[in-house]
Amino acid sequence: MRLQVTSAITERIDRFLAEQLALSRTVVGRLIAGNAVTVNGEGARASRRLSRGDLIQVVIPEAPPPRTLVPSHRPLDVVFEDEHLLVVDKPAGLVVHPAPGHWDDTLLNALVGRGTRLSQAVGRPGILHRLDRDTSGLMIVTKTDAAHRALARDLASRRVLRTYAALVWGHLDGAVEVDASVARHPRDRKRMAVLATGRAARTHFSVVARFESCDLVRARLESGRTHQIRVHCEYIGHPVVGDRVYGGGGAKRISGQPRAHADALDRATARQALHAARLGFQHPASGHAMRFGSDWPVDLRPALALAGDDPTLLDRHEALAYLGFDTGES
């Protein structure tokens, strides 16, 4: 696999590969230690800092036997499927892959339960990119290693379109581009934060609809850091409605007449009002342009209806289109 660095911001090669290939730093360290990684034709250490234009070659070893995943028979909303990949509309509350506390009730377990073939590219079954447990929406799952590697390259080259819908507190001043590095919080390991020492992260925000105490916004990712949209929203002073981790005070941020509306909205929003609504990519085998959409989820409709003071939004199956979510979006 070949990758080229396009960012002007330098970062360690182990961090770069971990993000671009969706691998743990441990796995990347093993690849580097095993001389499976070169930069501009030369061997590299894990601490090497990359520069724009560097060419990285990674020799992917044969995958070891996959870790046994306990089948779960939870139904999934699969919006597209062929022999190379599938696109799933993940519900809120579903963890993507097994971890402590969730060994047998994840998206991966459900995929195994339905008999889905999963790619094993460097030991990460099927998962190209992730969504937080309480973020809903569209995800790509790869079935073959070839599909995984091709889409991983496209993801690294920003050729995969990922657009989210979110309710955020207050009102943005038009379109906002946030270019702020994200890293693990120095004191709370469960949180991320904007830090100069973090990894480059960029999110584009634009207002779709303006309500009394919040905005419905379109958030387009250029990078895919952990909790990126939520962290960037907090950073610019407009946290995601219902976000109990990066909420920054939630409704208490709203003052004056809209405060009562904000308090009611806060009570009506059981989880972060963030949804992966649009997904676009080039099919790794056919080369065809693929585009998928997922409407505002049912569990967040009461919050959207209250935010917009429009009860008809409770029953609208294309609420985002009705509100003009795709207007001006390429």
For the chain, the structural domain boundaries read 2-58, 77-156, 161-278+299-322
- Round to whole Å and give the CA distance between 166 and 214: 10
82 carries an active-site annotation: no
**pLDDT tens digits for range 48-73:** 998 888 899 998 776 554 567 889 99
**pLDDT tens digits for range 271-312:** 999 999 999 999 999 999 999 999 999 999 999 999 999 999
Q: What is the pTM of this model?
A: 0.82
> 51: Cβ–Cβ under 8 A, 6 or more apart, which residues?
5, 10
- Give yes or no on whether 77-156 and 161-278+299-322 have one common fold: yes
Residue 29 identity: G
pLDDT of 9 > 80? The answer is no
**pLDDT tens digits for range 126-155:** 999 999 999 999 999 999 999 999 999 899
**pLDDT tens digits for range 155-169:** 988 899 999 999 999
pLDDT attached to residue 69: 83
**pLDDT tens digits for range 225-270:** 999 999 999 999 999 999 999 998 889 889 999 999 999 999 999 9
Asked if the 77-156 domain carries CATH number 3.30.2350.10, the reply is: yes
**pLDDT tens digits for range 163-190:** 999 999 999 998 999 999 999 898 888 8
Closest C-alpha to 122, from 24, 39, 38: 24
CATH architecture, range 161-278+299-322: 2-Layer Sandwich (3.30)
Q: What is the CATH number of domain 2-58?
A: 3.10.290.10
- Round to whole Å and give the CA distance between 216 and 273: 10
Closest C-alpha to 296, from 272, 271, 321: 321
Burial class from Cβ neighbours inside 10 Å (0-12, 13-18, 19+) for residue 229 reads buried
Q: How many CA atoms lie within 13 A of 111 on its CB side?
A: 30
Closest C-alpha to 204, from 231, 240, 229: 229
Catalytic annotation, pick one of 132, 215, 243, 295:
132
Lowest mean pLDDT among 4-18, 102-116, 304-318: 4-18
